[in-house]
Amino acid sequence: MNSDSDTDSNFDLVVIGGGAAGFFAAITCTELSEKPRRILILEKGSDVLQKVKISGGGRCNVTHDCHDPREFAKNYPRGQKALPGPLHRWNAGDMIDWLEQRGIELKTEADGRMFPITDSSQTIIDCFLGEARMHNIEIRCRTEVSEVTHDGSRFKIALKSDVTLASKNVLIATGGVRTPSGGNFAKSFGHSVEPAAPSLFTFKIRDPRLDGLAGISVPVGVARIPDLKLENSGPILITHWGLSGPGILKLSSKVARDLQSRNYQFRVQISWTGNQSRAEISDTFSAIRDSSGRQQIQSHSQFSIPGRLWKRLCEAAQIDASTKWGNVTKSQTAALIDQLISSEFQVDGKSMNKDEFVTCGGITVKEVDFKTMQSRLQLGLYFAGEVLDIDGVTGGFNFQSAWTTGRICGESVAVKL
């Protein structure tokens, strides 16, 4: 292809990155433009929307059932201040309605996560591909952008294949800055980029209390990092690696940078009984001693703790299989309460890369106008999605920020064209 040929120049908008944010921006732009626009999505991978495909275990946790922008924004350890404004313009409710108007119904799980009723991310992908086709959005896969420049009148988008495209506007929607290209494009326009750090990862722990218990979870736990004076409640899952589940992932997200600077070596305390106090548990134990003194402690789990985990916690408190409620000592009881409300573990690393869901870091938010998602340093340059220094806890928040920032970008390009 020739760099100056008509086919490869004069785009109204070139979107770099065929992920959630880039797609939604492109669709929005065509949807809201008064006349047909030339919009092109460039994707370096062999297919678009690959992360949507694998998201939520293949079910795609599209968004979260919370319609108040301020409350919603609290779920972003980075981006909390920047997002309430954009969320007033495009929030979870707007996304739900948008999908519903296109025949896609979502369902809400008990913890607020929302999925397509089909339980398949392909439903979302099919919808987006259908919209892109309907609006004549051009998509080129296996097309990697290597450089973006501006010649004073238009952007020049250099591809790895040596072709150069031209466009009035460019959206950088290249995802997390662990892959540096999006950050590098931004830097070439003078933007600063917060370095990448994993967010949402599981804690690697080797401890006899957890050995062989992979798959066991408690629905309401509390994970605490005493050195950082921070805790988070939620379901906790024991894995082959150590500890995971929303209670751990959310905590990892909140302190992603602190834990990176500690090289993922820190102590974590787990309460397996939610927010129950020492006194409340002690009262429950007294009542059991009175009513069931002959019962063996190890064989009768309390507080809905799975039996095998309860047994391990009893063993850690030096309560053997023959000990009964009637003959347990005060120090054993105290040790069991310690294990229940504050089991301490030494974390020695985080999960392998493939299990890391989200990267924190990205383009510094103060250099972006969140009313338009346009760069404050270069007119016509836009950002959306995970390439920004915004990341949410688990639960559908990361996609919602991709939809919201993508929507606002698409809308502002449509309005100005």
Ligand X SMILES: Cc1cc2nc3c(=O)[nH]c(=O)nc-3n(C[C@H](O)[C@H](O)[C@H](O)COP(=O)(O)OP(=O)(O)OC[C@H]3O[C@@H](n4cnc5c(N)ncnc54)[C@H](O)[C@@H]3O)c2cc1C
Which neighbouring-strand residues pair with 359? 198
To ligand X, the closest distance from the beta carbon of 213 in angstroms equals 24
Distance from C-alpha of 417 to C-alpha of 413, rounded to nearest angstrom: 6
Q: Cα 62 to chain center, whole Å?
A: 11
Helix, strand, or coil here: 349?
A: coil
Q: CA 124 to CA 111: how far, in whole Å?
A: 21
Distance between CA 352 and CA 225 in Å, rounded? 21
Q: In angstroms, rounded to a whole number, what is the distance separating the alpha carbons of residues 320 and 173? A: 57
Cβ closest to ligand X, residue 111 vs residue 315: 111
User: Judged by CB, which is closer to ligand X: 60, or 222?
Assistant: 60
- Minimal distance, residue 49 CB to ligand X, in Å: 7
What the block records as the tokens of 379 is: 């007119």
Name the residue nearer to ligand X (CB basis): 22 or 245: 22
Q: Smallest gap, in angstroms, from Cβ of residue 146 to ligand X?
A: 7
According to DSSP, the residues that pair with 168 across neighbouring strands are none
- Closest distance of CB 48 from ligand X, Å: 7
* Amino acid present at 319: I
Q: Looking at beta carbons only, is 45 or 195 nearer to ligand X?
A: 45
Rg (CA), the chain: 25
Q: Are 142 and 46 in contact (CB under 8 A)?
A: yes
Instruction: Look up residue 192 and give its amino acid.
Output: S
Residue 87 beta carbon to ligand X: minimum distance, rounded to whole angstroms: 14
| Cβ closest to ligand X, residue 182 vs residue 221 | 182
What's the closest the beta carbon of residue 386 comes to ligand X, in angstroms? Answer: 4
Distance CA 386, CA 101 (A): 26
Which residue's CB is nearer to ligand X, number 340 or number 408? 408
Q: Distance between CA atoms of 313 and 25, rounded to whole angstroms?
A: 51
Cβ closer to ligand X: 69 or 222?
69
Strand 155-159 versus strand 164-172 pairing type: antiparallel
Residue with smaller CB distance to ligand X, 186 or 251: 186
Q: Estimate the crossing angle of helix 50-58 against helix 122-134, to 10 degrees.
A: 150
**With respect to ligand X, which residue has the nearer C-beta, 170 or 281?**
170
Q: Strand order of the sheet with strand 106-108? A: 63-64, 113-116, 106-108
| Shortest CB 354 distance to ligand X, Å | 8
Distance CA 408, CA 373 (A): 6
Cβ–Cβ under 8 Å, residues 390 and 362: yes
Tokens of residue 243, six digits: 């500890």
Cα separation, 85 vs 154, in Å, equals 30
Q: Report the residue number whose CB is nearest to ligand X.
A: 19
Pick 178 or 224: Cβ nearer ligand X = 178
Q: Pinpoint the alpha helices (H) of 300-392.
A: 307-316, 330-342
CB of 272 to ligand X, least distance (A): 26
Q: Name residue 165's beta-bridge partners.
A: 157
Interaction site with ligand X (CB under 6 A)? 16-22, 42-45, 50-51, 54-56, 60-61, 144-145, 173-175, 179, 181-182, 357-358, 385-387, 396-399, 402
Q: Please, what is the minimum distance in Å from the beta carbon of residue 409 to ligand X?
A: 11
| Shortest spacing between CB 371 and ligand X, in angstroms | 19
